[in-house]
Every structure is written in C-alpha cells, then in structure tokens.
Structure 1
Amino acid sequence: MAPAAATDEEKAKKAAEKARRKAEFEAKRAKEGNPPKKKQLSKAERRELQEKQRADKEAKKNPKPKADKPPPPPVERPTTILGHLTKATSSTPPADGVPASIVELGQKYAAGEFDGSNDRCRSLLDAVRTSIKDYAPPPDAAAARDLDVKLKSWASYLEKCREPTASTLAALKRLRLVASTLPPDISPSEAQAAVETCCDRFREERVELAVREIGRRGAQKIRDGDVVVAYGYADAVEALFSEAVGRNFEVVVVDSAPAFAGRRLLNALYAKRVRTTYVRLTAAAPEIERATLVVLGADAVFSNGSILARSGAFAVAALAQRRHVPVLVTCEAYKCHDRVRLDAADANELFEFPSSDDTPPLTHLTYDVTPASYVSAVATEHGLLPPSAVAALIRELAEKETA
C-alpha cells in the first residue's frame, strides 16, 4: 500500500504546481491587459493573404531594374568545344592606311578563293609587292621603322579576315625581318627595292624551287607497278607525280567535301596521261588496301612531327597505318612551324556549308592533325626526313635566317 500512497502524493504535487503556474500566468496577463483576439478569417480571405505574401516574397527575390539603368546586353559565350575557333569573314573594316590591294586580298581570303597554303602565300607576296610601289613614309618617320609598322597593320587586317596559315606567317615574318634590319637612314626608294627583292626571292627560293625539289626527291619512291593514294591537292604532290611520268604506276585520288581539292589534282594528272582513279573519302578503305604508298600534302609540320593538313588526311593516314602502307608527307621547309600541335581543336578554322530554309547550317573543320606516329617520312627540299627530325630542321633554318 505504501507505493500507491506515494503515487497519489506526487500527483497532488504536480496538480498544485500546475495550478500555481496557471495563477501566475493569469495574474501577469491581467496586469498587462488582455490583447484583442485575432479575427477569424474565412477560407477565401486566407487564400488571398497567402497569395499576397507569396507575391511579396517573389518581388524581394527578383527586384525590378531601375528605370534609368537599362539591363546589360546578353554576353555570347561559346557553348561547344569549338566555340573558340573563328570563321572567315568579309565584313572586317580595313584600318587606316591599309592599301587597296591588301583589302582586296583580305576579301578573297574570306571568300576562299585561295585555298592552298602555297597559293595564299603567293597571293600575299604579290599584294605586298603591289602595295609597296606606292609606299611613301611620313615626313617625320624613318622609312625602315614605318615600313615595319605598316607590314604589321596589314598582317593584322588579313588575320581578321581569315585565320593565317603557316605559309603566310612565315612570309610576313621574313618581310618584317628585312624591314627591321634596314639602315635607319635608308631612302624610301631603297626600302621599296629591298622589300620587292625579298618578295621575289622568297617566292622563288622558298616556294617554287622547294616544290620542284620535293617533287624530284619524292618521285624516287615511286616504282613500276605501284599504286599510290593521294588525298586532296598540294603543289608538291603534283610535282612528285609529274617527275614520275613515264613509269608504270597508278594514282588513286581521294577527295572529300567541302573543298573537293582533289579534282584539281585529278585534272592535272589527266592532262599528263597518268592512270588515275577518283574516289570519295568514304570509299578510300578498299583503295588503300591495294596501295603501295600514300602521299599527303601538308599545310604545316610542327616541331613534334605532327602534320596539319586538309580535314580527312588523318583518316587516310590511319587507314594506311592499319594496313601497313607507308605514308609520305610533302611539305616545303618554310611551312615547318616551331609550335606543338596535339589535336585539331587547339587552333583551326571553321567552314560553314551553305544552308537553305530546309537545311540547318553545318560547320566543318578545315584542317585536322595527324600524329607523327602515322607518318613514315616528310619530304622537304632538304631531303626525306623522319618526323622526329623536323625540330632539328626548324632550328637550323632559324639560325640561318638570323645569321
């Protein structure tokens, strides 16, 4: 009976404590005054109040812009891995002092009239030679210094029209080197003559003679009964086949959109009565399977031995390597570049196919990069070199130019 009595006593204490707290609360409430009771809201009034509170909350999150300060324009950001690449454009306004021949050349670059790297270099040298005839430095400027500044501005304008190639970069580098090393007191006529001579020598020695020498050296690799696969077009590739005329061999020209540069090589070989087959890139595999040699023209060869060529060359080289067919790359030495290129997305040029109302615009990479491991030899005017020897050739040429 004792535990039950204890439980009743605890309950009585709790009840007394509860009554005491209630009495204190009532006394405090009576002292402060009874607050008015809230009005009971109907269901519609509660919904209206909730909607108003929700609208006020959204207004705080998204404040309205001030009337006197317009919102900033949207910033275009690249949305793909190729967003950093440029397209050729003919809407670039020329800077002050850019001659008409350079402006015309920039428009032709943008329109794609000069597609090959050698053709672009020749057209550049011709435009500079034409522009320099009317050159006259300001009265208070030295001819040598002003000429270098003008060449730099011309190069900047052409670069805005279209991404420069290794060939045009090498030509402009040589021209600016000649202009910067002229004596400060040289007359304008002497400066003009020096630049004209540089244009003529560069074109004859670094382009024309180089193409013929590469053709002579490369033709030694063609024997009777060979089936040679060539992709696209290059001056040195055409020279190589021209040197081999008279031997019993067959050429398979592989071509692809959008340039279809292989048609130019096809016409040249047809005029020389060379037995030729023309196929698209999608049908190249069976032809490479029976080939004894693959010849590619390069737009540039980098110091790590990788090859920059028309888009599709990498696919041809990969097919050749899989079937153990040697790949010979023709490249003039002035197009050997001291940069290192690992893939085509690093720096390239975009070509946009013409579109209509029924078809969306399609963008195409102009060049691709072939790793050195896919190349058997690089044919230059200095000889047939392994890709690993390109870096040494670049150093030797740089030492000769600065000597």
Structure 2
Amino acid sequence: MSEKETKTIVLEGPGDVPQPPSEAIKVVLESPKSPKSPRDPKEQAHEERSLSNKELKAMKKKAKAAKRAAAKEADGQAGGSANTPKTASHIKKQIFSAKMKDNNMRTPPMFGHLETREERISASPIIASIIHPSVLSLTLKISTYKIVGSTDRCMSMLDAFKDVIRSYETPAGTSLQRNLTSHLSHQIEYLKTGRPLSISMGNAIRWLKQRISLVPIDLNDEDGKRMLVDEIDQFIKEKILYSDRVIEEYASKHIQNNSKILTYAHSRVLFELFKYCAVEQGKHFEIYIIDSKPLFEGRKLAKKLAKIENIRCHYNMVNSLSSVLEKSNIDFCFLGAHSMLSNGRLYSRVGTALVAMASNHKNVPVLVCCESIKFSDKVQLDSVTLNELGDSNDLINTRPFNKVGLNLQQYLNRLEREKEEKAQKNPQKQNSKQQRARNDGHGVDYEEDTVLSNWKDLKKLFILNILYDLTPPEYIQKVITELGALPPSSVPVILREYKSIT
C-alpha cells in the first residue's frame, strides 16, 4: 500500500519574494516507501530536479494567485474594499473589459479600428457611482452634441473640474497632491465615454495635473483647493478668452468694408472675430456660411450673425460651394480648427478640407484662426488612422419631402395603385419576391415612410459618419494665433513657444 509524502519547495527567482515555509508551495509526490524508512538525500534531490520548468511555472502562478486571494479577503474583512478608491489603471481595465463588441455594427472595414459610440457608452455604468454630478451632466451634453466645438468643450470641462475640486475631500492617510490626481483620472475616464477628448482638453488636463503636483505640501486642503480653482479661472482667461481677443485684432486687418468672407460651419473664435469687426470697428461686410450634415453647426453661426446689424449673411449647403466661389468674388476664407498638428496639417470638422481646397483652387486666401492650446505635437498623414466615428443613423434622411406637390402626389398614388393591383393578382409571387430580396440583402422596403430605414438589413451597404478630416498645409496661407500670424510650416515654432510659456 503506497502512501503520500509531502515535500516543501520554496521557489525563488528574480522579482519573487522568498516565502516562509508556512506559505510555501506543497507538492505531493507518490512514493512506495513507508514514511518510517529513511530517505536518501540524493534521491530527494533527484525528485526535486525531476519537476519540469512548466510544472514549476504552474506552481509559481498558483502561489501568486493564492497570495492575491488572501490579500483581497483580508481587505474585505477590514472593510477596505468598499472605501479604498480604485486606481486609474484599474478603472481603465474595467472600461476595456466592458467594451461592447457588437458584430452587427456596420462600420466599413477600413475604419474598423475606430471606436464606435456604442462601445464607449457600454462601459459607463461601471464607474458612474464615483463620478461627480457635474461630470455626469457634462458627459451627457457632449455625447448628445449639446456642447460641440473644441474650445467650448474644454471650457465646460474645466468648469466641471472646478466643481469636482471644491467638493473633493482628501482621504485619511494620503495627501491632496497625490490623491486628487487619481480622483480626477476617474472623472476623465468617464468623460471619455461620451466622446474622445479634444486636443485642447488633453492639453488642459496635463496642465491641471502638473499644477496639482506643485501644490505646497504644507498647505491645508481648503487653501489648496481654492488656489487650484483660481488657477483654472486664470488659465481660461489667458489661454482662451484673452487669446481669442488677440487673434481678433490680428485677423480683423483682413476684413475691410464691403469685404466678402467665406467660412465653414461654426467656430467660437470666428464668431467673436466677425462680431468684433462689425460692432466695435463698424465695418460692413458679407459672410457666406457653408454648412453640411449631420450637425448643421452653420445654422448656429448664421442665427447669431443675423442679429448683428452691419453683417449680411448668406447660408449655403456644401453642395453649392463651387457656385458661391464662382459668382460671389470671395476675398478671404476663414476657417476654425480642432487642432493644428506639428507637420502643419489642419485637423478640423469633416468638410473643412473640401472648403480649403476649393478656395485655394479659386485663388482665395485661406486663413486659419487657432489658439495655441489647440496645437499638438502629433504627426498625422491621413484621416483614417485617427478619427472619430459618429452615429451612422445621423446621416439618414428620414423625411426627404416636407411638402409634396400635386403632381408628385398624383404620381406616388398611381404607383401605389399599380403595386396593389399586382399584389392582388399574384400574392404568392409577390411575397416570395420580397422575401428573396430581403434574404439576399438587396431589398429596400419602400412601404416605409423613411428612406433607408432598414439600411442595416442591406448586407452590402455601409454608411460612414466620420467627424474630422485633414487639410494639407499647401492649401493654407496663414495660421493666426495669439503668438502671431505664421505659415503652417512654422507650427512647431508656435508649439515650442506655447510649451515654454506654460
């Protein structure tokens, strides 16, 4: 009758902490010998060497898992698991593990690497319990496009962070300089679930974390929080409000009486520029606003400019761009920016590159107004590698005809009658034909009152809604910032100056 003998092997290696015998891994070895019989030291060493590297690795893995389980159980008994804040890396792992990979998402294969809106919002309930209400509200507004534009999103984010800092309380056993950064990281990770951060938001976040690390260690929490809130207010004034004012003074030199200006969509700094020229300088000029689906941001700009007395507004869709450039004798084309990259390319809302190229083709100077907070040291050569995907359903025109004329209505009625007559004559043939078209993925249900309402059933149809494009520097004559007006090739110089003064 064979009996089992228990041997203790302590594993030591680089990065491993030597374990006491009580925590060592116990390996059960089968031996035909009686426990009373003396064991040969050579035989014992041979049994230890007989374990393969794979078995040793497995035992090492089990030991680490046992230690983690014991530590977790100890924290749970001490009540620390409910009160200890999660690290930012743990939050990122949770969000990544909860990403909803829906195989039914109809994203073109070329853009399959980009994250969809559904994947972002699928992870939001995981960390919502530790998120400040101001950040929750801001994330909802950003995800539903109530707040659009790089500058507006950045200012709204900093205002929300001021509320987070005011309500923050430093846990016992830690300091504001170390724990507040981690607390803000939780808010930032949740904010990303609404929409990816803009370049200006990323620059502002890096500045804020640096300022938090520089708070004096001997300063009490209330004074430290008050100092951070004041510095955020000062940052908004200097990097956004005052910068816009300087850009307005530089760019206003290009707008004279009776000038004709072309612009695209909506930009905060451009609205302030046009308002400054019309109200404070008293200039009379015309503005041609080009707009596109699905956000129709140009409507917002047209509505605000129409209230200014000295400005005459023209609102056009992007399909009339060539006609506007051909007949209107445009003097300058002013464009806003989401970001200026270090290789001189303009990264902005989709359609900007089309307007810049068409203007350059007609010898219309293209001027970009951009604050230095939007400058990035990234290099990008196309709009495919990095971009943002919008909802494909936003591009579907659900009501193409708001008003149907008499002739069109008669024609539609006649088609409907003919369709009903055919269905009555051959009902089985008609049903089988519709079913076959539906199965093949080629059929469109024209009985619906919406266009392409069943587009996801069409297997070979992809609808792409990207939000940004890239404009080459050769189509841009000048970039106007608060640091001066320079050609796109000098963007690295502006970026270096921005970093030096921050």
TM-score w.r.t. structure 1 length?
Answer: 0.77
Q: Which runs of 5+ in 1 are unaligned?
A: 1-73
For 2:192, what is the secondary structure of its paired residue?
A: helix
Offset, 1:235: 1.1
2:455 aligns with 360
Offset, 1:208: 1.2
| 2:469 pairs with 1:389 | no
| 2:480 pairs with 1:379 | yes
Once the two structures are superposed, residues 279-320 of structure 1 have per-residue CA deviations (whole angstroms, 9 ceiling, x without a partner) of 000101121232111010001111111111111000000101
Identity of aligned residues (%): 29
Offset, 1:98: 2.2
* CA contact 1:87–1:162 (8 Å) conserved in 2: no
1:300 to 339, 347, 356: 339
2:232 aligns with 199
The one-letter code of the counterpart of 2:313 is: T
* CA contact 2:108–2:464 (8 Å) conserved in 1: no
Offset, 1:391: 0.6
For 1:393, what is the secondary structure of its paired residue?
A: helix
The one-letter code of the counterpart of 1:282 is: N
For 2:109, what is the secondary structure of its paired residue?
A: coil
* CA contact 1:302–1:341 (8 Å) conserved in 2: yes
Root-mean-square deviation over aligned CA pairs: 2.0
1:93 to 120, 125, 132: 125
CA 1:156 to 1:75, structure 2 compared with 1: closer, same or farther past 3 Å? Answer: closer
2:109 aligns with 80
Matches within 5 A, 1:196-275: 196-245=229-278, 246-273=282-309, 274-275=311-312
| Mapped partners of 1:291, 1:328: distance in 2 | 13
Offset, 1:150: 1.4
Once the two structures are superposed, residues 311-360 of structure 1 have per-residue CA deviations (whole angstroms, 9 ceiling, x without a partner) of 10000001011111100001111011111121111211111134667242
Q: How many residues align?
A: 328
| Mapped partners of 1:98, 1:184: distance in 2 | 26
| Mapped partners of 1:158, 1:249: distance in 2 | 40
State which structure, 1 or 2, has the greater radius of gyration over its C-alpha atoms: 1
The one-letter code of the counterpart of 2:369 is: T
* CA contact 2:365–2:477 (8 Å) conserved in 1: yes
| Mapped partners of 1:326, 1:93: distance in 2 | 48
For 2:474, what is the secondary structure of its paired residue?
A: helix
Offset, 1:232: 0.7
For 2:189, what is the secondary structure of its paired residue?
A: helix
1:116 aligns with 149
| 2:310 pairs with 1:278 | no
| 2:164 pairs with 1:164 | no
For 1:294, what is the secondary structure of its paired residue?
A: strand
Offset, 1:75: 9.3
The one-letter code of the counterpart of 1:281 is: V
| Mapped partners of 1:381, 1:143: distance in 2 | 34
| Mapped partners of 1:324, 1:164: distance in 2 | 35
1:13 aligns with none
Higher mean Cα deviation, 134-143 or 215-224? 215-224
| Mapped partners of 2:204, 2:494: distance in 1 | 18
For 1:247, what is the secondary structure of its paired residue?
A: coil
| Mapped partners of 1:126, 1:79: distance in 2 | 37
Offset, 1:166: 0.9
1:287 aligns with 324
Offset, 1:170: 1.4
Offset, 1:226: 2.0
Once the two structures are superposed, residues 202-237 of structure 1 have per-residue CA deviations (whole angstroms, 9 ceiling, x without a partner) of 211111111222122111111233211010111111
CA 1:349 to 1:198, structure 2 compared with 1: closer, same or farther past 3 Å? Answer: same
Higher mean Cα deviation, 315-324 or 245-254? 245-254
* CA contact 2:343–2:379 (8 Å) conserved in 1: yes
Higher mean Cα deviation, 103-112 or 120-129? 103-112
| 2:365 pairs with 1:326 | yes
For 1:229, what is the secondary structure of its paired residue?
A: strand
